[in-house]
Amino acid sequence: MSAESRLGRFISNIHIAVTLFFRAPPEPGRRPAWPPHGKLALGALVAIVIVGGAALVLDARSVAGARALPRAMIWTFQYITDLGLSGWFLIPTAMLLLAVAAADTASLPAFSRRVLTATSIRIGFIFMAVAVPGLFVTILKRLVGRARPFVAGEDTWTSQFLVWRPDYSSFPSGHATTAFAAAIAIGALWPRLRPVMWIYAVIIALSRVIITAHHPSDVIAGAIAGTIGALLVRNWYASRRLGFAVATGGMVFKLPGPSSSRIKAVAQRLVSA
């Protein structure tokens, strides 16, 4: 295949992927079940109370207490906290998606192409589940403009609205958003990894307070945003039968995907081609 045809196929594959993501649900009447409006409102109120309560009761005390922790512990968590950067998830998944788009050619057997398509849908889900809430929080934290710990001395309530500065981008925590979104996304695809991912998410959230990069209320708000955002992306995929589907009662379930042995077989075929 010529370089020009490969480029055309690559662009076509990307276009197909975008079209799939934005396609209309095949069964418009079958949507993921959400709690009644009253329960949603109550849940939102509880979340506000939790975040507000943390701001009132925990922020000043915990941030001040974090400074009294052993230096070795703080130093250790300064390295651990970088594992909460969204790039750890977005860059590898984006590169994998581009690699699949480049590898999926018309000369491949239909079976191999189906495996690549199913794999790219799941990789794309992880990318979107982390990227969507991450983008929302990135914009929100700049709009709120809350000062990070000790930027305004002992005052934990200082804000400069609409100021796009790193030292005034404390609320919500982007690392906590990424960690909890990744925990939901990866746990949805591979349930056995849920305990590991939840431990990871909690450690990342704690690290932001231990190194005094965030207040506890920032971290709690980020965890809520990441969780809800990832679930919304999952429901979007489910309503379009992309990796997930919706049962008659509105429950979302994971569709069977290609096994690791089949993915390995396709990868070996591509390498040897």
Tens of pLDDT, residue by residue over 155-199, are 888 999 988 889 999 999 999 999 999 999 999 999 999 999 999
What pLDDT was estimated at residue 106? 73
pLDDT higher than threshold 80 for residue 273: no
Asked whether residue 25 is domain-assigned, the answer is no
Mean per-residue pLDDT over the chain, rounded: 91
Asked whether residue 8 is domain-assigned, the answer is no
Q: Comparing 153 with 139, which gets the higher pLDDT?
A: 139
Vertex 71: Cα angle to 69 and 74 (nearest 5): 75
Beta strands 244-246 and 252-254, pairing class = antiparallel
Q: What are phi and psi of 159, to 5 degrees?
A: -140, 150
What pLDDT was estimated at residue 96? 95
Asked whether residue 215 is domain-assigned, the answer is yes
Tens of pLDDT, residue by residue over 110-152, are 888 899 999 999 999 999 999 999 999 999 999 999 999 988 8
What pLDDT was estimated at residue 238? 96
Asked whether residue 6 is domain-assigned, the answer is no
pLDDT higher than threshold 80 for residue 4: no
Asked whether residue 10 is domain-assigned, the answer is no
129 Cβ contact list (under 8 Å, min separation 6): 181, 182, 184, 185, 229, 230, 233, 234
Tens of pLDDT, residue by residue over 30-80, are 889 887 778 888 999 999 999 999 999 999 999 889 888 999 999 999 999
What pLDDT was estimated at residue 1? 54
Tens of pLDDT, residue by residue over 83-109, are 999 999 999 999 999 999 988 877 788
State the residue range of the domain holding 83. 35-272
Q: How many domains would you assign to the chain?
A: 1
53 Cβ contact list (under 8 Å, min separation 6): none
Cα–Cα dist 84/148, whole Å: 18
Which candidate, 120, 251, 138, 229, places its Cα nearest to that of 184?
A: 229
Asked whether residue 213 is domain-assigned, the answer is yes
Cα–Cα dist 155/91, whole Å: 37
- State the angle between helix axes of 174-189 and 110-144 in degrees (0 to 180), rounded to the nearest 10: 160
What pLDDT was estimated at residue 251? 93
Cα–Cα dist 68/236, whole Å: 45
Mean pLDDT for the stretch of residues 250-269: 87
CB–CB of 93/238 below 8 Å? no
Give the pTM.
Answer: 0.94
Q: Which amino acid is at 210?
A: I
CB–CB of 153/130 below 8 Å? no
Asked whether residue 226 is domain-assigned, the answer is yes
Asked whether residue 256 is domain-assigned, the answer is yes
Distances from the Cα of 103 to the Cα of 17, 53, 98, 113, angstroms: 14, 51, 9, 9
